[in-house]
A and B are shown apart, each in its own frame.
Chain A
Amino acid sequence: MASSKKGIPKNHVIGFILSLVMTVAAAWAAIRSDLPVTWVIIGIMVLALLQAGVQLFMFMHVIEAGSGGGHVPWNMMFHGFALAAILVAGSLFTMSFGFDHGDHGGGSGGGDEQFEEQPEEHAGH
Chain B
Amino acid sequence: MAAEELKTGPLEYRSQEGRMGILGFWIFLGAEVVLFATLFATYAVLFGRTADAPTPAELFEPGIVLIMTFLLLTSSFTCGLAVNEMRKGNTKGLTIWMVITLALGVAFLGFEIYEFVHYAHEGATLQSSAYWSAFFVLAGTHGLHVTLGIGWAILLLIQIAKRGLTNKTSRKFFVISLYWHFLDVIWIFIFTSVYLIGMVI
For residue A47, give the distance in angstroms from its CB to the closest CB of chain B: 7
Min Cβ gap A54→B in Å is: 9
Shortest distance in angstroms between B175's beta carbon and chain A's nearest beta carbon?
11
Q: Which of B48, B73, B185 lies at the interface centre, i.e. has the most chain A CB atoms within 10 A of its CB?
A: B48
CB contact under 8 A between A84 and B55, given known A48-B193, A91-B44? no
The residue from B33, B177, B181 contacting A84, defined by CB atoms under 8 A apart: B33
- Which B residues are CB-close (under 8 A) to A19? 73, 76-77, 188
Chain A residues closer than 8 Å to B88, beta-carbon distance? 4-6
B92 within 8 A of A: yes
Q: Are A104 and B55 in contact (CB under 8 A)?
A: yes
Q: Are A83 and B13 in contact (CB under 8 A)?
A: no
Docked Cα-Cα span, A100 to B98, in Å, equals 48
In angstroms, Cα B76 to Cα A59, docked, is 8
In the complex, chain A residues whose CB is within 8 Å of the CB of B44: 88, 91-92, 96, 119
Determine if B42 is an interface residue (Cβ-Cβ < 8 Å): yes
CB proximity of B39 to chain A, nearest CB, Å: 10
- Chain A residues with CB under 8 Å of B184's CB are 55
A87/B41 contact (C-beta < 8 A), A23-B66, A23-B73, A67-B19 known: yes
B76→A66 contact, CB < 8 A = no
Q: Are B192 and A45 in contact (CB under 8 A)?
A: yes
Contacting pair B192 A83 (CB below 8 A): no
For this complex, into which size category does the number of interface residues on chain A fall?
35 or more
Within 8 A of A (CB), among B13-54: 13, 16, 19, 22-23, 26-27, 29-34, 36-38, 40-42, 44-45, 47-51
Which residue on chain B has the smallest CB distance to residue A76?
B30
- Complex interface: chain A residues within 8 A of B30 (CB): 76-77, 79-80
B156 contacts the other chain (CB 8 A) = no
CB of B85 within 8 A of chain A?
yes
Task: Give chain B residues whose Cβ lies under 8 Å from the Cβ of A20.
Answer: 70, 73
- Scoring A residues 63 to 82 as 1 if CB is less than 8 Å from chain B, else 0, what string do you get? 00011110011001101110
Instruction: Contacts A9-B84, A26-B191, A119-B44 known; list 9 others, CB within 8 Å.
Output: A16-B73, A16-B77, A19-B73, A23-B69, A66-B13, A68-B19, A84-B36, A87-B34, A96-B47
A: residues with CB less than 8 A from B are: 2-6, 8-9, 12, 15-16, 19-20, 23, 26-27, 30-31, 37, 40-41, 44-45, 47-48, 51-52, 55-56, 58-60, 66-69, 72-73, 76-77, 79-81, 83-84, 87-88, 90-92, 95-96, 101, 103-105, 108, 111-112, 114-116, 119
30 A-B pairs whose Cβ atoms sit less than 8 Å apart in the complex: A2-B97, A4-B93, A9-B81, A23-B66, A31-B196, A41-B200, A45-B193, A59-B77, A59-B80, A59-B181, A66-B9, A67-B19, A69-B26, A72-B23, A73-B23, A76-B26, A76-B27, A76-B30, A77-B30, A83-B33, A87-B38, A88-B41, A88-B44, A92-B45, A96-B45, A101-B49, A103-B51, A104-B51, A112-B47, A116-B47
